[in-house]
Structure 1
Amino acid sequence: MAEDILFAGAQQVRDALSYEELITALRQCLLDLSTGRVIQPLRSVLRIPQHQGWFAVMPAVYGDVMGAKLVTFYPGNAALDMHTHQAMIQLFRADTGEALAVLDGRVITEMRTAAVSALAVDTLATPHVKVLAILGSGVQARSHLAALARVRRFQEIRVWSRTADHAQRFAGESGAQAYPSAEEAVRGADVVLTLTSSPEPVLAGRWLKSGAVVCAVGAVTPDRRELDDEAMSGAVIVESREAALREPGDILQSGATVTAELGELLNGATFPRTDRPVVFKSVGVAVEDIAAAKLVYEKLRPRQTAG
């Protein structure tokens, strides 16, 4: 019945989620993905060329729930002071197909993306990292800073943006230091986040210190990339091999080889560490959204009436 379906907007979703819970839930979710306990096809993407955007459908079955995220990306929205990503998530029971919830998906996307990066940093970076460099100063920069604070304490946070005043604003809000160039921000950093919508590389491998950990997040389609070939020449960790070999330009255009899935490492797998950077190439996969949506639903679901 429609009156039994949970409808939750952006603020309700944000109030229901915490990064601590998300990181824990996503750890299990990615373990399950890498051990074959998730049904998840590749996302289906419909291009909207007249607006340089796209619309994607991302379904998954995960345990006792299933659902789909409907998400759009319109990069031109930034000039209109609007979010570039918009989304909703529909959640169902896996055993009966009963509709459970319709949730704002933009906030879930924002928070689960940052939580997955925090999980990657916790897995790949040493406990003693000191310097964090952030390329990009938008929504994801803010969410990543909040999520990473749950797994590491950085002594120095640097930020660079293609729009200098945005970087300055972010620095003022967060206590970071704004840098005039990406290279200056990256040189000597232990962990680097690329969180831009750039269609071409903003990070050069020659800038990276030995053994740096990079979370490459902003480019998720074949025509976009944030890292150059040299940056992609070391170990490459992904959420899903299937998605990584079909979707992200960082891998497809560089010809990089996938080293491991993050869930495999969480399950005890290892890989040889060298002086080359380690890149976590995130594309975002549907089961992460469904796992996060399930958390929201369990917090907010309508109470069952007796009788």
Structure 2
Amino acid sequence: MPTRPLFCSAEEVATLLRMDEAIASQRRAFTALAHGTADLPPKVMHPSRFDDSVMFCYVSRLSADTGAVAKFGSVHPANRAHGLPSVNAVVVVLDPVTGAVVAVLDGTALTTLRTAAASAVAVDALALPGADELGLLGSGTQALAHARAVARVRPLRAVRVWSPTEKHRVLAAERIADELGVRADAVDSAQEAVNGVPVVATCTLSREPVLRGRWLSPGATVVGVGSFEPDRHEVDAQALRRAAAVVVDDPQTAAAHAGPVVAAIGGGDLVPGDLVPLGQVLTGQRTARSGEQDIVLYFSVGLGLQDAAAAWAVVDAARAADERAAAVDGRPAAAR
């Protein structure tokens, strides 16, 4: 008899997928990608002709014992002005044997968690061990998630937050300080947020650079998640020229979608072979940082495989919770 699919709201996704588990899921995704053991068809990113939104669709499969996962949604930059998430999506999880629907998950919460968790994986692999301060460019949902995620892999003592609207950056700093118990300052310029900081995260949807390479200190690690289209450039060309390594989630995808990478390849500053896959750093196949003075950049445009790993982590957590509840109640566990 077919079983009832699992339906998870944003709140339920966040409850089931804790940050440490989200980080672990992203390690699995990038390791599988490095070993060539996953299915990852090209993603669809289509700018709408009607407004500045972007439609997207990702599909992938992490392993033989986890079924296909698809995510459909859109990016609406104007939502920021209304205090709403810029990304909205739904994720569908299929059974690995029958292809039946196993789960339908809120894709906005899942995307926020897996993106920040992947950046934490990158920071853990690329940043200096003693890096204890974070500079955030951006003050929205993704910036807050990055503060939480980076705090799980580095002993943060301070965070600097900048975004164009003073009210937003002040509120973000207050929330980070309250949640993480660290000093968090809203600063007046992007340069002030970056100067002397060992880890920088750019979490904006800017089409113009908000981070200038000349501001970066030796040894800095930068993670950028907002340049997911060729015409979005959170980071300027000088930052890429100063970098000892440009690490990406997937070279082929980054070369087609990541704005600063597309520009650097088009301008002759990079060739596709220069791009270092994060998964190959995790597995020891490639290196990125060779010394403490190196500046290292990581760009993520998002992969369906990240969604697949995170979605199955949610499904597994839901099943485990159901089994625990059944054991307490003395009833059969629901087949989810």
TM-score (norm 2): 0.87
Matched, 1:266 2:282: yes
Deviation of the 1:272 alpha carbon:
5.6
Aligned AA (1:31): T
TM-score (norm 1): 0.95
Mapped partners of 1:272, 1:263: distance in 2: 14
Mapped partners of 2:288, 2:157: distance in 1: 28
Mapped partners of 1:297, 1:272: distance in 2: 36
Query: Structure 1 residues 35, 6: CA separation in 2 closer, same or farther (over 3 Å shift)?
Result: same
Pairs within 5 Å for 1:23-34: 23-34=23-34
Mapped partners of 1:150, 1:272: distance in 2: 21
Q: Which residue matches 1:4?
A: 4
Mapped partners of 1:273, 1:206: distance in 2: 21
Q: Which residue matches 2:118?
A: 116
Could you say what secondary structure the match of 1:4 adopts?
A: coil
Check conservation: 2:289, 2:296, Cα contact below 8 A: no
Mean CA deviation greater in 143-152 or 292-301: 292-301
Matched, 1:135 2:151: no
Candidates 302, 307, 312, aligned match of 1:294: 312
RMSD (CA atoms):
1.6
Mean CA deviation greater in 165-174 or 134-143: 165-174
Candidates 196, 200, 207, aligned match of 1:199: 207
Pairs within 5 Å for 1:216-235: 216-233=224-241, 234=243, 235=245
Check conservation: 1:34, 1:240, Cα contact below 8 A: no
Mapped partners of 2:315, 2:289: distance in 1: 40
Mean CA deviation greater in 252-261 or 134-143: 252-261
Mapped partners of 2:121, 2:89: distance in 1: 23
Q: Which residue matches 1:55?
A: 55
Pairs within 5 Å for 1:152-191: 152-175=154-177, 176-191=184-199
User: How much identity, in percent, do the aligned residues show?
Assistant: 36
Mapped partners of 2:38, 2:72: distance in 1: 19
Q: Which residue matches 1:126?
A: 128
Q: Which residue matches 2:298?
A: 280
Count of paired positions: 305
Aligned AA (2:102): L
5+ residue gaps in structure 2?
178-183, 323-332
Mapped partners of 2:36, 2:280: distance in 1: 11
Aligned AA (1:138): G
Query: Which of the two has greater strand per residue?
Result: 1
Mean CA deviation greater in 180-189 or 42-51: 42-51
Mapped partners of 1:288, 1:69: distance in 2: 11
Aligned AA (2:129): P
5+ residue gaps in structure 1?
none
